[in-house]
């Protein structure tokens, strides 16, 4: 079994952050396709199959591992960045949309964190990224925000990204919270989670029939985001596809002013 590479890091920025990872000679970081921002000379890029954790044997095992990544909507391949020089080198990975980068020291978190399928950004080589099979049938069927979850396993550093303001909440044994499914970023493995249906709530998706909450019971840590990417995307889409006449409308410029678009 490959030990996780120990990497140092710094996070820069406020709303649009990036993480700079410092690699010792022969150390490697792995990242999603499209996360790369910049790197020093002396770092070698290589496309790898799956996550590079090498915790599975043979071609069939590798296909199964990579296939699980495909199930959670991520790329079948990842990119490895290895320092092939004789001194420290740096490589940086950028946030895909406004939010915060969350550093996770898996050795301090029970060696496993379960996260939303689009939350993973990058990690030290040796961290395993795969699908988290659901304990209850309903969990994988509901919650349009993406309730097929990923799991990050190992004892190294991993980095997640989430939208808007992100905060960490420590749940005591038996303590229960209910979240919008899209606002749940990640949780530690001791958390007991499920999907709860609440009827009689008007909701455009279900036509007034009800909504679904993610319920989480302690003990453990939960990471929560204030702006799920699906919520941001739907708002942008509604502005992009709505025919908003500037002239000849009764509201016209007044309507735009109320939206914050006019002066």
In a domain, 262, yes or no: no
In a domain, 168, yes or no: yes
In a domain, 254, yes or no: no
Structural domain total, the chain: 1
Confidence of residue 102 (pLDDT cuts 50, 70, 90): very high
- Structural tokens at position 153: 């396993």
Looking at per-residue pLDDT, the higher value among 160 and 64 belongs to 160
Closest C-alpha to 88, from 197, 10, 195: 10
Helix (H, G, I), strand (E, B) or coil at 171: strand
CB distance 43 to 91 below 8 Å: yes
Residue 152 has pLDDT above 70, yes or no: yes
Question: What pLDDT score does 49 carry?
Answer: 73
Confidence of residue 84 (pLDDT cuts 50, 70, 90): very high
In a domain, 33, yes or no: yes
- State pLDDT tens for residues 46-78: 988 765 565 444 444 444 455 555 554 555 678
Best-predicted range by mean pLDDT among 31-35, 165-169, 177-181?
165-169
Residue 132, domain extent: 8-243
Residue 2 has pLDDT above 50, yes or no: no
- Structural tokens at position 171: 């749940």
CB distance 80 to 29 below 8 Å: yes
Q: What is the pTM of this model?
A: 0.75
In a domain, 230, yes or no: yes
Looking at per-residue pLDDT, the higher value among 241 and 90 belongs to 90
Question: What pLDDT score does 52 carry?
Answer: 59
Question: What pLDDT score does 254 carry?
Answer: 46
Looking at per-residue pLDDT, the higher value among 123 and 261 belongs to 123
In a domain, 256, yes or no: no
In a domain, 104, yes or no: yes
Contacts of 57 (CB under 8 A, 6+ apart): none
**CATH of residue 188:** 3.60.160.10
In a domain, 250, yes or no: no
- State pLDDT tens for residues 199-215: 666 655 555 445 678 88
């Amino acid at each position: 079994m490959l030990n996780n590479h120990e990497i140092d890091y710094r996070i820069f920025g406020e709303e649009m952050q990036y993480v700079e990872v410092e690699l010792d000679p022969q150390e490697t970081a792995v990242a999603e396709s499209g996360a790369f921002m910049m790197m020093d000379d002396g770092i070698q890029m290589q496309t790898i199959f799956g996550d590079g954790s090498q915790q599975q044997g043979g071609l069939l095992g590798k296909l199964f591992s990579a296939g699980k990544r495909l199930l959670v909507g991520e790329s079948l391949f990842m990119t490895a960045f290895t320092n092939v020089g004789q001194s420290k080198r740096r490589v940086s990975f950028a946030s895909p949309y406004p939010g915060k980068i969350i550093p996770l020291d898996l050795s301090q978190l029970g060696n496993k964190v379960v996260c939303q399928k689009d939350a993973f950004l990058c990690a030290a080589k040796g961290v395993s990224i795969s699908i988290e099979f659901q304990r209850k049938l309903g969990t994988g069927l509901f919650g349009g925000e993406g309730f097929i979850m990923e799991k990050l396993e190992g004892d190294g550093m991993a980095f997640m990204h989430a939208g808007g303001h992100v905060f960490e909440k420590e749940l005591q044994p038996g303590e229960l919270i209910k979240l919008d499914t899209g606002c749940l970023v990640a949780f530690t493995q001791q958390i007991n989670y499920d999907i709860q249906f609440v009827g009689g709530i008007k909701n455009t998706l279900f036509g007034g029939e009800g909504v679904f909450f993610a319920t989480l019971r302690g003990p453990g840590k939960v990471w929560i985001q204030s702006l799920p990417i699906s919520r941001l995307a739907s708002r942008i889409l509604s502005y992009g596809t709505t025919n908003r006449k500037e002239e000849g409308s009764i509201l016209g410029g007044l309507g735009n002013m109320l939206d914050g678009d006019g002066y």
